[in-house]
Chain A
């Protein structure tokens, strides 16, 4: 149930972003675009077509630009008033200009550029997430296929998945006796639940028609797995992967605050200890952007892999 809810939530929010529809045209979006340009047969020969396209682009681009500008303006005004504690956007840019223009400097130890900090965090996420993908899809297939496994494992999953990521950190540190594997484990355990649950829902929802086709063709277990099960469940699997990557990125920043070392999470914590609020703001912007791109990346891969399977 929860998994289905998550799925619709992700897809819903994906549609609302205009950039999504433009970058990866879904069947619906593609159809709409064709109808819109249909009356103009040769776009180049007709000045109206260009105007129309320009107007369409403007309609997509203008609202976020206006809202962002307003947001920055209000922030600037509030932060410039008497007694304000947080830095204004202009202040942030002047304070952090060195960091912005030199993302790749390396003065040894923790004193490295923002790009290195982000890459260190991304590397941890890559390890933890990759493990979660493999284990999550494997367990999801097991739970989706076997009613016995589902009855046995589901209660365990339902309880464990509600444990907050950081609550795993102490026990993980105790088990691994090292900070880096602990951080990777926290990523793993955070990202794996939506992957397991969505995969198993996808497997359970495989249409009886496809099962019948497989039976008439006498596909063996391996053929059934690769030719029917994986492609049929792929849309569900990818919505789980997409939720998982978002959670992984949320968890790494929090985990790094505690374990230290190079990484964007500890960078934020370090900046807080040094009272460099502007550095924190810059880091938050980077964290948000990276999170957004990770989400888009998984969504694009998912759309590419599952092309053609959504429409019956």
Chain B
């Protein structure tokens, strides 16, 4: 069986010789179209490295990433990234930040007017139509991340990569954005790979949770299928025994079987 996105026995070592450090060992993962996958693990376990390898921002030492039948070797718009710190260009307006991505991705495929329409449509989808001509320093952190998500979605990627997308936000904004991402994902059917360290976020959003062991030489410790019906409601989930069981399982993995190396040292 061939899957939409496969991460095939990926190893990653940084540096060479005696100072080399093995970050990932034999990471193997297969993702189907429209699946929402979370990668969870303690900080420093290399979960962001996995994401960056899929994005093409880092190269594998051995092993390969195959997306839709083609090997990934460099970054490209078919794997757009939502960066942890939004990474909007501060000298461009909200509209132009998304516009740059759209123009670059669809030049030659859509007319100028169509591209402009498409920018407006994606910003509408994330609820940012009111701030088209604002610059990033004029809007809040949550809004910046919305624009970051719009920029990534606007490229119509085959797989959407999110690197702790809500990590820098306050709890209320985070919950709100999680709900939006769930809604958008169910509307568009995106394939999503998300790195997180938030257990609730992982259980609420994912179809499968990939739990990573601690580094160095981290690998996939366990994959948990989340069989909760969609759409999922945050409030209903709080009293749902299944939800809490999944949650407990992730917590057990993180805090019993693979305790945080930093807390052990303390």
A68 beta carbon closer than 8 Å to chain B: no
Q: Looking across the interface, which residue of chain B has its beta carbon closest to that of A223?
A: B104
Mask for A189-226, Cβ within 8 A of B = 1, else 0?
00000000000000000000110110111110001000
A216 touches which one: B76, B91, B135, B138 (CB < 8 A)?
Answer: B76
B101 beta carbon closer than 8 Å to chain A: yes
Given A209-B85, A308-B137, A312-B137, does the pair A215, B75 have CB atoms closer than 8 Å? yes
A228 touches which one: B76, B89, B105 (CB < 8 A)?
Answer: B89
Please provide the chain A residues from 225 to 242 with a CB less than 8 Å away from any CB of chain B in the complex. Answer: 227-228, 231-232, 234
Do B135 and A227 touch across chains, with their CB atoms under 8 A apart? Answer: no
Do A308 and B87 touch across chains, with their CB atoms under 8 A apart? Answer: no
Please provide the chain B residues from 78 to 92 with a CB less than 8 Å away from any CB of chain A in the complex. Answer: 79-81, 83, 85, 87, 89-91
| Docked pose: A306 CA to B75 CA in angstroms | 29
Given A216-B77, A218-B75, does the pair A210, B104 have CB atoms closer than 8 Å? no
Do B77 and A209 touch across chains, with their CB atoms under 8 A apart? Answer: no
What does DSSP make chain B's interface, helix, strand, loop or mixed? loop
A180 beta carbon closer than 8 Å to chain B: no
Do A210 and B87 touch across chains, with their CB atoms under 8 A apart? Answer: yes
B55 beta carbon closer than 8 Å to chain A: yes
Within 8 Å CB of A309, what residues of B? 90-91
Given A27-B137, A216-B55, A312-B137, does the pair A231, B89 have CB atoms closer than 8 Å? yes
B184 beta carbon closer than 8 Å to chain A: no
Within 8 Å CB of B175, what residues of A? none
B57 beta carbon closer than 8 Å to chain A: yes
Please provide the chain A residues from 39 to 60 with a CB less than 8 Å away from any CB of chain B in the complex. Answer: none
B100 beta carbon closer than 8 Å to chain A: yes
Q: Looking across the interface, which residue of chain A has its beta carbon closest to that of B135?
A: A308
Q: Looking across the interface, which residue of chain A has its beta carbon closest to that of B148?
A: A213
Q: Looking across the interface, which residue of chain A has its beta carbon closest to that of B161?
A: A216
A311 beta carbon closer than 8 Å to chain B: yes
Given A218-B77, A309-B91, does the pair A212, B57 have CB atoms closer than 8 Å? yes
Please provide the chain B residues from 133 to 157 with a CB less than 8 Å away from any CB of chain A in the complex. Answer: 135-138
Residues in B lying within 8 Å of A, measured CB to CB: 55-57, 74-77, 79-81, 83, 85, 87, 89-91, 100-101, 104-105, 135-138
Residues in A lying within 8 Å of B, measured CB to CB: 27, 209-210, 212-213, 215-219, 223, 227-228, 231-232, 234, 306, 308-309, 311-312
- With A213-B87, A231-B91 given, can you name 7 additional A-B contacts, CB distance below 8 Å? A209-B83, A210-B89, A217-B101, A227-B89, A227-B100, A308-B135, A312-B136
